[in-house]
A and B are shown apart, each in its own frame.
Chain A
């Protein structure tokens, strides 16, 4: 068991592309850690650098107490699951799982026994003599996991472990992976571009953009207190409402008529006339059908679109400050063309200035928020 420490990690590719930019990160022992970001943000390069498949241009990688920056992948004691699983097509399931032990020159009997043990713990009994081509996607994923586990490494690295599964299987595999990681207690880093996956599985996560870590925190922290506009817009299955405005006294003015009180924890840090972005998640807006007292502390306007999300609906409101999305509970949906208001719930509104977060949102998350570096 071991934690992972990255310091000043930089990776330059020939041709001037900088995939990682002086990146620092601390992953605790036994943690289930997600690297999240849009494609091209460097998350896979980071994972491959930890594995040793890429060599860092500058900076260091420590696993446990050992500096592994210059060690080849095979001597870092990591197990890796690749996005395409990379199962050897000419070997049976047993031989695939036992491959790390074959490299370690263990005897045939010992290898097969170990492989059978790991396979059985992942529900792969009965498939041992098959070849990867004869397995379903979910089975292939579990064989890849079993192979990574076989040599009992100190760290697991998973590259987009769920992206090759179909949607229903993905949910199952999510639960399975999370439970497996908890049982094994091995430090695990996984890469994903799907924010829902990171929120659902990770103990902590790093949101990456352009080779840098924009924010590190628990899923709850990152969801409720996104450190920057980028993180705010990237996290959440329904994107956060982000509306430009201006500070006036105790209020934020968005457009002509929408005047909202300053969110908690922002007073004193702002001056009159400051240009800000007001952020509120669609889930944290209450929809009201009456339009009395329009503009005072609410977004008011005509309902443009109503999208059914199953147990709720996403309502698009044409408010004075711009389009506002509101999640409305079952049975209370307005019809398109109705007028209505949306009121931010207390303590949920966020204010961004120069792309960075100004307030803490006022909820109980302020204590341990490990903030990443802020841009600008």
Chain B
């Protein structure tokens, strides 16, 4: 009996050791790139390994010397902000309309759009999107990139926001109407504030999507002065064809900071709270 008990205790210990090893390996796998991102920019001789840096800020000088690096970050901001504004405004109006007006086949339409949207900005539609932009004179135009990205993100954004508009009781809007509010005032005073957490979610999501997108700006923008950070990073090689790690590491850090900052800001400012019913 006691022998069996001892065996099960050993098995339990082995199980714990196994689990701990697995979790450590997994953690290491995900934390190493982050450690690299934290250390390499400040390392005098950055390599593709994470190691405690020989501290220096010289890498940032290299970054500032590069003619495209900072401009590309500004381009990314322009693309992300433009797309986010367009997506949030159109998706909010569309979601509101779709949840208030009964159209036959509404849900089928929404699901079809959702399915097709991944194609629009995907590799499969590369050629048609290029031809379309070419014929519309939208090649090498930021507006063109914003419109294509908006088209690709809109269905999902509508889908997310429709959940929020569906959950808003129509009596809120009716109350505002009885007191004389115009449709635009109803939207601005009542609907938009009530679905604000949804708007914040969609904004953050859109910005993150555009920030990381490579294919569309790569395809549609010719002039490197207009290229966003995701595309410019691709050009950071030394004359010898080796990746310029000093440049890449510092740029990566600058490239990821705005997204992290945005998450922190939005979750503090709008913090996905609920209005009414639940006390805060």
Interface of A toward B, CB cutoff 8 Å: 51-53, 72-75, 78-80, 82-84, 86-91, 99-100, 102-104, 131-134, 147, 151
Q: In the complex, which residues of chain A have a beta carbon less than 8 angstroms from the beta carbon of B180? A: 73-75, 100, 103-104
User: Measured between C-beta atoms, what is the minimum distance from A88 to chain B in Å?
Assistant: 6
User: Measured between C-beta atoms, what is the minimum distance from B107 to chain A in Å?
Assistant: 19
What's the Cα separation between A80 and B175 when bound, in Å? Answer: 7
> Which residue from chain B places its CB closest to the CB of A104 in the assembled complex?
B180
What's the Cα separation between A151 and B178 when bound, in Å? Answer: 11
Verify A51–B276 contact, CB threshold 8 A. no
Which B166-194 residues have a C-beta within 8 angstroms of A?
Answer: 169, 171-172, 174-182, 185, 189-190, 193-194
Interface of B toward A, CB cutoff 8 Å: 169, 171-172, 174-182, 185, 189-190, 193-194, 196, 275-280
Verify A86–B275 contact, CB threshold 8 A. no
What's the Cα separation between A100 and B180 when bound, in Å? Answer: 7
Q: In the complex, which residues of chain A have a beta carbon less than 8 angstroms from the beta carbon of B280? A: 133
What's the Cα separation between A86 and B178 when bound, in Å? Answer: 12
Verify B279–A133 contact, CB threshold 8 A. yes
User: Measured between C-beta atoms, what is the minimum distance from A342 to chain B in Å?
Assistant: 48
User: Measured between C-beta atoms, what is the minimum distance from A150 to chain B in Å?
Assistant: 9
> Which residue from chain A places its CB closest to the CB of B175 in the assembled complex?
A86
Q: Can you list 25 pairs linking A and B with CB atoms under 8 Å apart? A: A53-B174, A53-B178, A73-B177, A73-B178, A73-B180, A74-B179, A74-B182, A78-B178, A82-B175, A86-B172, A88-B176, A88-B193, A88-B194, A89-B194, A90-B196, A90-B275, A99-B176, A99-B179, A102-B189, A103-B176, A103-B181, A103-B185, A131-B275, A147-B179, A151-B179
Q: Which of A53, A78, A86, A133 contacts B277 (CB 8 A)?
A: A133
Tell me whether chain B's interface is mostly helix, strand or loop, or mixed.
helix
User: Measured between C-beta atoms, what is the minimum distance from B104 to chain A in Å?
Assistant: 12
Verify A131–B276 contact, CB threshold 8 A. yes
- With contacts A86-B175, A133-B280 known, what are 15 further pairs, Cβ within 8 A? A52-B178, A72-B177, A73-B174, A73-B180, A74-B177, A74-B179, A79-B178, A80-B175, A80-B178, A82-B171, A88-B189, A90-B193, A100-B180, A103-B176, A133-B278
Q: In the complex, which residues of chain A have a beta carbon less than 8 angstroms from the beta carbon of B172? A: 86, 88
> Which residue from chain B places its CB closest to the CB of A157 in the assembled complex?
B178
Verify B181–A74 contact, CB threshold 8 A. yes
> Which residue from chain B places its CB closest to the CB of A78 in the assembled complex?
B178
What's the Cα separation between A236 and B182 when bound, in Å? Answer: 44
What's the Cα separation between A147 and B175 when bound, in Å? Answer: 10
Q: In the complex, which residues of chain B have a beta carbon less than 8 angstroms from the beta carbon of A90? A: 193-194, 196, 275
Among the interface residues B175, B177, B181, B193, which one has the most CB atoms of the partner chain A within 10 A? B175
> Which residue from chain A places its CB closest to the CB of B277 in the assembled complex?
A133
User: Measured between C-beta atoms, what is the minimum distance from A72 to chain B in Å?
Assistant: 7
User: Measured between C-beta atoms, what is the minimum distance from A17 to chain B in Å?
Assistant: 14
Among the interface residues A51, A89, A91, A100, which one has the most CB atoms of the partner chain B within 10 A? A89
What's the Cα separation between A99 and B188 when bound, in Å? Answer: 13
Verify B171–A84 contact, CB threshold 8 A. yes
> Which residue from chain B places its CB closest to the CB of A89 in the assembled complex?
B276
Q: In the complex, which residues of chain A have a beta carbon less than 8 angstroms from the beta carbon of B189? A: 88, 99, 102
The 6 closest A-B pairs by CB, nearest first: A74-B180, A89-B276, A89-B275, A86-B171, A100-B179, A86-B175
What's the Cα separation between A51 and B196 when bound, in Å? Answer: 29
Among the interface residues B174, B180, B193, which one has the most CB atoms of the partner chain A within 10 A? B180
Verify B275–A133 contact, CB threshold 8 A. yes
What's the Cα separation between A75 and B180 when bound, in Å? Answer: 6
> Which residue from chain B places its CB closest to the CB of A100 in the assembled complex?
B179
What's the Cα separation between A51 and B179 when bound, in Å? Answer: 10
What's the Cα separation between A73 and B181 when bound, in Å? Answer: 9
Verify A84–B178 contact, CB threshold 8 A. no
Verify B178–A88 contact, CB threshold 8 A. no
Q: In the complex, which residues of chain B have a beta carbon less than 8 angstroms from the beta carbon of A88? A: 172, 175-176, 189-190, 193-194
User: Measured between C-beta atoms, what is the minimum distance from A48 to chain B in Å?
Assistant: 8
User: Measured between C-beta atoms, what is the minimum distance from B278 to chain A in Å?
Assistant: 6
Q: In the complex, which residues of chain B have a beta carbon less than 8 angstroms from the beta carbon of A74? A: 177-182
> Which residue from chain A places its CB closest to the CB of B174 in the assembled complex?
A53
What's the Cα separation between A88 and B174 when bound, in Å? Answer: 11
What's the Cα separation between A53 and B129 when bound, in Å? Answer: 45
> Which residue from chain A places its CB closest to the CB of B278 in the assembled complex?
A133
Q: In the complex, which residues of chain A have a beta carbon less than 8 angstroms from the beta carbon of B176? A: 88, 99, 103
> Which residue from chain A places its CB closest to the CB of B176 in the assembled complex?
A99
Q: In the complex, which residues of chain B have a beta carbon less than 8 angstroms from the beta carbon of A80? A: 174-175, 178
Known: A88-B190, A89-B194. A82 touches B279 (CB 8 A): no
Q: In the complex, which residues of chain B have a beta carbon less than 8 angstroms from the beta carbon of A99? A: 176, 179, 189
> Which residue from chain B places its CB closest to the CB of A130 in the assembled complex?
B279
What's the Cα separation between A64 and B76 when bound, in Å? Answer: 61
Verify A84–B169 contact, CB threshold 8 A. yes
What's the Cα separation between A72 and B194 when bound, in Å? Answer: 24
Q: In the complex, which residues of chain A have a beta carbon less than 8 angstroms from the beta carbon of B275? A: 89-90, 131, 133
Q: In the complex, which residues of chain B have a beta carbon less than 8 angstroms from the beta carbon of A87? A: 276
